[in-house]
Chain A
Amino acid sequence: MLNKRGWLFVALVAVAALVFALFWWGARPRETTTLTLLGEDTATMQAIESVKGEYETKRGVKIQCIKNTFEVLQQKANADLASGTGLYDIILNYNFSLSSFVRHGWVFTLRDLHEIDPRVGTSDFEKDIFPNIWKEVGFYKTSKDSEPQAIGYPFAGNTMLLVYNKKLFEDPRNQESYRAKYGHELSPPASWAEFRQIAEFFTRPSEKTFGVVLEGAGGGWLYYEWINFAYSMGGGVMKKQFGWEGDVYTPLIIDSPETVAATKYYLGLRPYSAGDFLSTGQNEQAELMRSGNIALAIMWSDVIYSLVHSPNGGRFGFSPIPGGKSQIGGGIYYFSKKSKQKKLAVDFVLFLMQKDTQRKLMEHGLCSPLRSAYDEPGVDKIPYAAALRQALEKGTYMAEAGPDADAVQEAVTLAVQRIARGEVSAEEGLREARVNLERKRAEIFNLAK
């Protein structure tokens, strides 16, 4: 029998053996060629994971999909590209990274990629990409005076859609009393006036029923929701054609009368909103919609797949948001210049962009950037596909994507939250936001020179 010192020795040896095993396991070489994709943990990456097996079998390679939260994705992508470690061959990131990635020369343009694979720039699917989406999420100027050029292919065509609770809308009692109260039929709102009426109509806190669930949380949620109202009511933050455009001289319209009116309208919906406005982001919104009696919400298209495939997912209907405009979201496949598998990386993305692959990806949650993918058999069974296509057709710039994108998002969030809390009036809050933004943008564009 071992004494206590003996046991201690055995324990020490066991720990050493475990640590050695750990080191050995991690250090042993991979048996096959591996392509590494880094992206945000959304339906897009989940869809890619679901089809990658087909490519792996065909090419005899391994595709590793690394999914992270938005913040971690940014940290990893920036650290890898800035230090040139080349850990990630393809990075699925948003259009506000264009400025930083292209200015620093960390990623290939499509023109560069044509040298690696001649199919780039000549493939049929390129004509099939929604042009407004590609221009918004995938083009950038490689130098100050050059024409914008394509940096990568869009991995998705995202936008925000109106999600409504069909169960509430189809209830005959609700239809009757709505008709009696407002003099017209209860249907998904086509205008912001109707949106407010419906929100008001369904708000009955005693019955735990609410008209809408707004996203008032920081970290981008409030900003991306607010711009739907601001731009479709004639206001916004800046006047320009694309999110990535602009410089320190681009005129700001953040305190224009239209923006002030839109902000007042937006915050006027707060009494009809379920949950805690200031802490409601996308997850809280989806959770409240899923489990509560809430009539309306404006949600990102790439989270709708998980909403539809959750318990009670069949109760939702979808349409483009009121106001005749939809914002464009999403990003592109960035090809790292330090990748050790450049040719393979291009080949895999070309595989993903094929119409047939896009159909399969759509069935697993992708919002395809290819127009013809929406005509593919089976896609019409996706409950939000028709609304998504309509919204993408009229998609336009709303969200900032230049080097000042995050500063704009923060300024808007700060101002609208302070207005919501009653600290300042809408006029005062937005004027302060303009002044702060002018100062910060000057600093940012100076830094970005």
Chain B
Amino acid sequence: MRRAANNRQLTIVIVLLGLVSAAYGSPLLEAFLGAGQKLAPAINLEDGWGRPFLRSGVFACLSTLIFLPSSLFFALLVKDCSKYLRGFLALLMMPMLMGGVALAFIIKLDTMRMNLVTTAIANRAFAPTWGLMLLAQGWQVVPLFLYLFWFRLQLVPERVLRFARASQLTPWEYARDIYWPHTRNLAGILALLGAALSFYEFIKFHLVLRASPGGGTELASHWLLRWYSSYATVDPNYATQVTLAMSAVGVLIAVVVALLAVLVTVAGLDWCLRRHPRALLPWRVRDPRIADAVALVAILATMAPLLGLARYFRWGVFIDLGEFFRSVTLSVAAASVTLLLSIVLGVCVRILLRRTMEKFDSRSAPLFGLLYFLQMVPPIGVALCGYHWLAKLGGTTTWVPLLWLVSQVIVSLPLTASFVQVSHFRVSTRELEFQESSRVGFSDLMWHSFLRRFGLDYGLVAIFGFSIIWTEATVNSTLSSLSRSIPSVAVELSQRVDGRGASYQQAANLILVTLVPVILALALWTFDLRRRKVFSDKSRNGLLGRRMEG
């Protein structure tokens, strides 16, 4: 409290950001509190919410439990790969950055004509169906997690590695005592992200399996949309209120499931690495030949599904170039605002809550859970909140661009702010206390302890922010048609992929278009890494760490 009182401006920043986010999501709470008896049919129906929510919970826990350890394991193997492969490793982020719609569409094209797959899942038998969906989900998150772990492992300080070498640690001792402590915070936040993405997974199940209760494949987000559609023909106001209320219930369940998944996964990894490191790491984790082979396989396996698009490409102009560039510019603007706010929030939180937010543990996890509140809102909930605010603004299109900007920032802030926060864990509490006792001004503290040190990390977060906004379809779809200034490439893509106006050929071409800025961002990122000599042989074995730690 004393610290908050001493840093009133910082406290105001946090409270303001929290209030704006809470205000956007307030229709959920309002609907939940006002729903009362109206919720009864949604909860009591035989075709109710129980099964889909349970399925979502299991899917979220299972995917986190599988993906996180396997990503870490591969990252350890890839850690010392050749400098020629390091640049290409950035391609591992591609599936996540291309967005859910494009990714689901590619999986659909890949599996649609594969007799083996269609026969195996014909009657939606449990093992092949869940296996396929875990693979699909895994394609999106495992390469990303692998890359982020790999990147974090490059930042292990040289003094630590020197000590490890001098102590002649075995590979599993390296993993247990050096690498895991340096990736644990990141693992926590990635587990939270993975669980949140999986719990409200929508588009992959929708496009690939056409999720339905009859097929036994319906998840929570599909149920919510189906429920809304079903009652919208009776009474749209009733359907909206109950869907928002059920989304609020869903947020609570999602947060609990995500925290459970995080707890089980991170605690499980803690336990395994402490007790059975040999079982987890049967190979030599620092063998460059193995590193090169695994890196190559990982890159090829990540890019291979994209080949399914090839047969659909046709040359020709299929998008207004002016609209495309306007979309890119506006997404960059929104991503910049998001990044700025994430950094400000990250710095404020690190200074004000320095003990609570010094690492990812049971004290900071609830705060991350709170931060992820809007990430846990299903797409239909986000859309209905958007319509709510549009109606509140009186339907005047003048405010639409501002509403779009605010919505995009709110939707992408949980991910970007949490990644920034994980980077800020590297500023020690002792350092902050020393700076405070030395009466270092806020601007100097911000510059020396944060901005100067985490340029690379912020660059990566900026790429994530851009890709979320660029490929986001819900907010774009809600608002894009109301103002010429709102980008609509993502909406166009979702309409070409699904819906009655779909065209697989145009969708394939549009995916190519959406990939252009993503590839450009990855190229810039790789160039920056090269500029900072991350790819030089000297940086192997963590020399980069010394530079990074400043």
A interface vs B, CB < 8 Å?
Answer: 4-5, 8, 11-12, 14-15, 18-19, 21-23, 25-27, 38, 40-43, 45-46, 66-72, 74-76, 78-83, 85-87, 96-97, 99-100, 104, 205, 217-219, 221, 275-284, 287, 300, 302-303, 306, 310, 403-407, 410, 413-418, 420-422, 436, 440, 443-444, 447-448
- Among the stretches B1-9, B269-277, B397-405, the one at the interface with A is B397-405
- Report if A278-B502 is in contact (Cβ < 8 Å); known contacts: A18-B333, A85-B395: no
Give the contacting residue for B234; candidates A8, A87, A100; CB below 8 A: A100
Contact B502 A26 (CB under 8 A): no
Contact A278 B234 (CB under 8 A): no
Task: Report the bound CA distance from A422 to B125 in whole Å.
Answer: 11
Q: 28 interchain pairs (CB within 8 A)?
A: A21-B333, A23-B402, A25-B484, A26-B485, A41-B495, A41-B501, A45-B501, A69-B494, A69-B499, A74-B232, A75-B232, A75-B383, A75-B478, A81-B236, A87-B395, A87-B397, A99-B233, A100-B232, A218-B210, A218-B212, A275-B118, A404-B233, A410-B226, A417-B212, A417-B215, A443-B41, A447-B231, A447-B235
Task: Report the bound CA distance from A96 to B233 in whole Å.
Answer: 7
Complex: chain B residue closest to A412, CB-CB? B214
Contacts of B499 in A (CB 8 A): 40-41, 68-70, 283
Contacts of A417 in B (CB 8 A): 212, 214-215
Contacts of A5 in B (CB 8 A): 447
Determine whether B238 belongs to the interface, using a CB cutoff of 8 Å to chain A: yes
Contact A67 B501 (CB under 8 A): yes
- Report if A422-B123 is in contact (Cβ < 8 Å); known contacts: A19-B337, A22-B330: yes
Task: Report the bound CA distance from A42 to B41 in whole Å.
Answer: 34
Contacts of B209 in A (CB 8 A): 278-279
CB contacts under 8 Å to A, within B205-242, are 208-216, 225-226, 228-240
The 7 A-B residue pairs with the shortest CB-CB distance, nearest first, are A417-B214, A85-B395, A218-B212, A41-B501, A26-B401, A69-B499, A83-B391
Contact A421 B451 (CB under 8 A): no
Task: Report the bound CA distance from A418 to B212 in whole Å.
Answer: 11
Task: Report the bound CA distance from A100 to B240 in whole Å.
Answer: 14
Contacts of A83 in B (CB 8 A): 387, 390-391, 395
A106 to chain B, nearest CB (A): 9
Determine whether B71 belongs to the interface, using a CB cutoff of 8 Å to chain A: no
- Report if A75-B387 is in contact (Cβ < 8 Å); known contacts: A25-B401, A67-B501, A70-B500: yes
CB contacts under 8 Å to A, within B91-141, are 112, 115, 117-118, 121-124
- Report if A68-B124 is in contact (Cβ < 8 Å); known contacts: A40-B500, A282-B500: no
Complex: chain A residue closest to B443, CB-CB? A5
Task: Report the bound CA distance from A310 to B546 in whole Å.
Answer: 59
Give the contacting residue for A218; candidates B215, B233, B235, B483; CB below 8 A: B215
Complex: chain B residue closest to A17, CB-CB? B333
Contact B451 A46 (CB under 8 A): no
Give the contacting residue for B214; candidates A25, A38, A281, A418; CB below 8 A: A418
Complex: chain A residue closest to B213, CB-CB? A414
Task: Report the bound CA distance from A413 to B405 in whole Å.
Answer: 40
Complex: chain A residue closest to B311, CB-CB? A291
Give the contacting residue for A448; candidates B208, B234, B337; CB below 8 A: B234
Contacts of B225 in A (CB 8 A): 71
B27 to chain A, nearest CB (A): 12
Determine whether B154 belongs to the interface, using a CB cutoff of 8 Å to chain A: no
Residue-by-residue, is B323-345 near A (CB-CB < 8 Å gives 1, otherwise 0)? Answer: 00000011011001100100000
Give the contacting residue for B502; candidates A96, A217, A283, A436; CB below 8 A: A283
Determine whether B289 belongs to the interface, using a CB cutoff of 8 Å to chain A: no
B216 to chain A, nearest CB (A): 8
Contacts of A72 in B (CB 8 A): 383, 477-478
B311 to chain A, nearest CB (A): 9
Task: Report the bound CA distance from A76 to B208 in whole Å.
Answer: 26
Determine whether B320 belongs to the interface, using a CB cutoff of 8 Å to chain A: no
Determine whether B361 belongs to the interface, using a CB cutoff of 8 Å to chain A: no
Contact B333 A22 (CB under 8 A): yes
- Report if A100-B236 is in contact (Cβ < 8 Å); known contacts: A70-B499, A278-B215, A279-B209: yes
Contacts of A80 in B (CB 8 A): 395
Contacts of A43 in B (CB 8 A): 501
Task: Report the bound CA distance from A424 to B46 in whole Å.
Answer: 17
Determine whether B528 belongs to the interface, using a CB cutoff of 8 Å to chain A: no
A7 to chain B, nearest CB (A): 11
A396 to chain B, nearest CB (A): 21
Determine whether B384 belongs to the interface, using a CB cutoff of 8 Å to chain A: yes
Contacts of B240 in A (CB 8 A): 78-79, 82
Contacts of B228 in A (CB 8 A): 75
B interface: dominant SS: helix
Determine whether B422 belongs to the interface, using a CB cutoff of 8 Å to chain A: no
Contact A219 B212 (CB under 8 A): yes
B473 to chain A, nearest CB (A): 9
Q: A19-B405, A79-B240 are in contact. List 20 more A-B contacts (CB 8 A).
A: A22-B405, A23-B405, A26-B401, A26-B484, A40-B499, A70-B500, A75-B232, A75-B384, A78-B232, A82-B237, A83-B387, A83-B390, A99-B233, A100-B232, A280-B210, A306-B501, A406-B231, A410-B47, A410-B213, A421-B216
Contacts of B231 in A (CB 8 A): 406, 447
Complex: chain A residue closest to B230, CB-CB? A406
Give the contacting residue for B390; candidates A12, A68, A85, A448; CB below 8 A: A85
Determine whether B49 belongs to the interface, using a CB cutoff of 8 Å to chain A: no
Contact B337 A15 (CB under 8 A): yes
Contacts of A82 in B (CB 8 A): 236-237, 240
Complex: chain A residue closest to B234, CB-CB? A403
Contact A67 B112 (CB under 8 A): no
Contact B501 A46 (CB under 8 A): yes
B329 to chain A, nearest CB (A): 7
Task: Report the bound CA distance from A444 to B486 in whole Å.
Answer: 38
Contacts of B211 in A (CB 8 A): 218
Contact A97 B395 (CB under 8 A): no
Contacts of A66 in B (CB 8 A): 481
Task: Report the bound CA distance from A126 to B151 in whole Å.
Answer: 69
Contacts of B124 in A (CB 8 A): 278, 421
Contact B215 A19 (CB under 8 A): no
Contacts of A85 in B (CB 8 A): 390-391, 394-395
Task: Report the bound CA distance from A303 to B501 in whole Å.
Answer: 8
Complex: chain B residue closest to A302, CB-CB? B500
A373 to chain B, nearest CB (A): 22
Task: Report the bound CA distance from A74 to B243 in whole Å.
Answer: 14
Give the contacting residue for B503; candidates A99, A306, A416, A447; CB below 8 A: A306
Contact A413 B214 (CB under 8 A): yes
A298 to chain B, nearest CB (A): 15
Contacts of A440 in B (CB 8 A): 45
Task: Report the bound CA distance from A415 to B212 in whole Å.
Answer: 11
Task: Report the bound CA distance from A406 to B47 in whole Å.
Answer: 14
Contact B214 A416 (CB under 8 A): yes
Task: Report the bound CA distance from A284 to B340 in whole Å.
Answer: 43
Contact B329 A18 (CB under 8 A): yes
A213 to chain B, nearest CB (A): 12
Give the contacting residue for A87; candidates B46, B212, B329, B482; CB below 8 A: B482
Counting chain A CB atoms within 10 Å of each CB, which of B233, B380, B391, B504 scores highest? B233
Task: Report the bound CA distance from A184 to B257 in whole Å.
Answer: 63
Task: Report the bound CA distance from A154 to B279 in whole Å.
Answer: 68
Task: Report the bound CA distance from A19 to B115 in whole Å.
Answer: 50
Determine whether B452 belongs to the interface, using a CB cutoff of 8 Å to chain A: yes
Give the contacting residue for A276; candidates B112, B452, B494, B504; CB below 8 A: B112
Task: Report the bound CA distance from A97 to B405 in whole Å.
Answer: 32
Complex: chain B residue closest to A27, CB-CB? B398
Give the contacting residue for B332; candidates A18, A104, A281, A284; CB below 8 A: A18
- Report if A15-B215 is in contact (Cβ < 8 Å); known contacts: A78-B232, A79-B240, A448-B235: no
A332 to chain B, nearest CB (A): 15
Determine whether B498 belongs to the interface, using a CB cutoff of 8 Å to chain A: yes
Complex: chain B residue closest to A77, CB-CB? B236
Complex: chain A residue closest to B45, CB-CB? A440
Task: Report the bound CA distance from A337 to B476 in whole Å.
Answer: 26
Task: Report the bound CA distance from A410 to B123 in whole Å.
Answer: 19
